[in-house]
Structure 1
Amino acid sequence: MDWTLEVVIVPVSDVDRAKAFYADQLGFVLDHDIAPADGVRIVQLTPPGSGCSIVFGRGAVPDMPPGSFKGLQLVVNDLPKAHAILTERGVAVSEIQVHGMGTWDGEADLNNVGFLHFADPDGNSWTIQQITARA
């Protein structure tokens, strides 16, 4: 039996601001933005190519402090390209880090050890890892 992770709830304080950040700046695909009842709004977005979406909103999502979610991780196959895309879109992203070595020198192989870090407007933190080959 497969057990797939398909939705992660991200706590935010401003649904419209979060939607703009994730859709416009990060480039996540907007799956839906619905208001099924008074005081209820659910926004779901999916990173390009991912089988797992994020959800946030009001009235129908667990009450968690905005910015309290830490350690969400995305995987890409080209970290320098991801860095360039996010920087171009105005995301405050860290320099590329190589696990155990510090800032990337532009030469070291990034497979499985290269990382970027950023936070959404509420402070929910994300990591991006480069994986180009898996064991």
Structure 2
Amino acid sequence: MDIKLELIGVPVSDIDRAKAFYEQVGFHADHDVTVSDAIRFVQMTPPGSACSIAFGQGITEMAPGSLDNMQVVVADIEAAHADLTSRGVDVSAIVDQPWGSFVYFADPDGNRWAVQQITPRNASDAG
């Protein structure tokens, strides 16, 4: 039996601000539907991902900014860093660890993200 992770709720305080931020990061807006006065559903997907995020009104009971350590994977951390920086996203410097190279950022509410290149940039230096 396959079990596929397809949607993760992200707690935000301002739906339009969050949507603009994730568009700035490069996520695609799949849905933005106001179902009722109590429910607005926004779904966005990172390029190339089978899993999306959702936020809005009536989507989650988590406190805005309480999501920690969401992680996406890229083939080239230097290209990802350059792309995010060129989009005006406040990202960390590249951090090299034995298990990968990372860039970190947070959305306007403080939900934290890691961007990982699985093979560390300096893997060829080991020897």
> Which TM-score applies when normalising by structure 2?
0.90
Instruction: Select the residue among 79, 84, 92 that pairs with 1:86.
Output: 84
Q: What are the within-5 Å matches in structure 2 for residues 56-71 of structure 1?
A: 56-59=55-58, 61-71=59-69
CA distance in 2, matches of 1:62, 1:38: 16
Tell me, which stretches of 5 or more residues in structure 1 are unaligned?
101-111
> What is the CA distance between 1:113 and its match in structure 2?
1.3
Q: Which residue of 2 aligns with 1:2?
A: 2
CA distance in 2, matches of 1:95, 1:38: 42
> What is the CA distance between 1:64 and its match in structure 2?
1.1
Tell me, which stretches of 5 or more residues in structure 2 are unaligned?
120-127
Contact in 1 for aligned 2:84/2:91 (Cα 8 Å): yes
> Which TM-score applies when normalising by structure 1?
0.85
Q: Which residue of 1 aligns with 2:22?
A: 22
Q: Secondary structure at the match of 1:81?
A: helix
CA distance in 1, matches of 2:3, 2:85: 35
Contact in 1 for aligned 2:10/2:60 (Cα 8 Å): no
Aligned length: 119
2:111 counterpart letter in structure 1: N
CA distance in 2, matches of 1:87, 1:36: 35
1:54 counterpart letter in structure 2: I
Residues 34-81 of structure 1 show CA distances to partners (whole Å, capped at 9, x for unaligned) of 00112321100000000000000002x121110000010000001001
User: Which consecutive segments of 4 or more residues in structure 1 shift more than 6 A?
Assistant: none
Q: Percent identity?
A: 58
Q: What are the within-5 Å matches in structure 2 for residues 22-41 of structure 1?
A: 22-23=22-23, 25-41=24-40
